């Protein structure tokens, strides 16, 4: 009985130009045989990889996305429509007699939809149409006060001289 079995790679030495059972030697070299690494060649050769990419990454992989650069920050403020508030009154607020009190302090209230109940809404901001609709229904929107800092307007004396000449 054999005590130690020889390694397979040592048995493959000297056979078929040192390919160790890997077929043609050129198949074992880097990534040329498989068409590149990762997403390489995705738009080449009659669109071979397009179906694979759309399955993995969706249709947004190809082409330009939007008109702004990736560094541009998007507006992340929270917004909610009156329609959504009306549909989810029990979720958002408490009922006191006939009035629903709703606390949405981080949101801006937008005026899309109808108001059928009296609502008292606390919000960060509200559109004019939303305020009008809630007032019509007998409620109110309490908006957080914003501090407005007035900067003094300093006139440049060079500009005033030009205006006087004309």
Residue whose tokens read 């019509």: 136
CATH class as words, domain 78-143: alpha beta
Residue 94: its pLDDT value, please? 84
Provide the pLDDT for residue 9.
72
Question: What DSSP assignment string belongs to 25-83?
Answer: GGGGSTTTTTTSSTTTTTT-TTTTTHHHHHHHH-GGGSS---SS-TTSPP---EEEEHH
- The pLDDT tens digits along the chain (166 residues) read 778 888 877 766 655 556 666 777 777 777 777 777 777 766 656 677 777 788 888 878 777 777 777 787 878 889 999 999 999 988 888 888 889 999 999 899 999 999 999 999 999 999 999 999 999 999 999 998 766 667 777 777 776 666 566 6
Beta-carbon contacts of 80 under 8 Å, excluding residues fewer than 6 positions away, are: 104, 107, 108, 109, 110
Phi, psi dihedrals of residue 7, rounded to the nearest 5°? -65, 150
Question: pTM for this structure?
Answer: 0.48
Query: What pLDDT is recorded for position 124?
Result: 92
């Amino acid at each position: 009985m054999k005590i130690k079995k020889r390694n397979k790679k040592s048995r493959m030495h000297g056979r078929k130009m040192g390919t160790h059972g890997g077929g043609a030697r050129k198949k074992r070299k880097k990534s040329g045989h498989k068409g590149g690494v990762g997403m390489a060649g995705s738009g080449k050769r009659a669109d071979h990889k397009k179906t694979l990419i759309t399955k993995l990454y969706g249709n947004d992989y190809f082409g330009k996305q939007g008109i702004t650069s990736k560094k541009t920050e998007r507006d992340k403020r929270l917004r909610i429509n009156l329609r959504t508030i009306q549909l989810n009154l029990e979720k958002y607020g408490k009922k006191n007699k006939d009035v629903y009190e709703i606390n949405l302090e981080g949101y801006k209230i937008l005026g899309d939809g109808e108001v059928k109940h009296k609502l008292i809404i606390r919000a960060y901001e509200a559109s004019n149409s939303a305020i009008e609709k809630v007032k019509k229904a007998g409620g109110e929107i309490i908006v957080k006060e914003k501090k407005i800092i007035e900067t003094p307007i300093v006139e440049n004396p060079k500009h005033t001289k030009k205006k006087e000449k004309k």
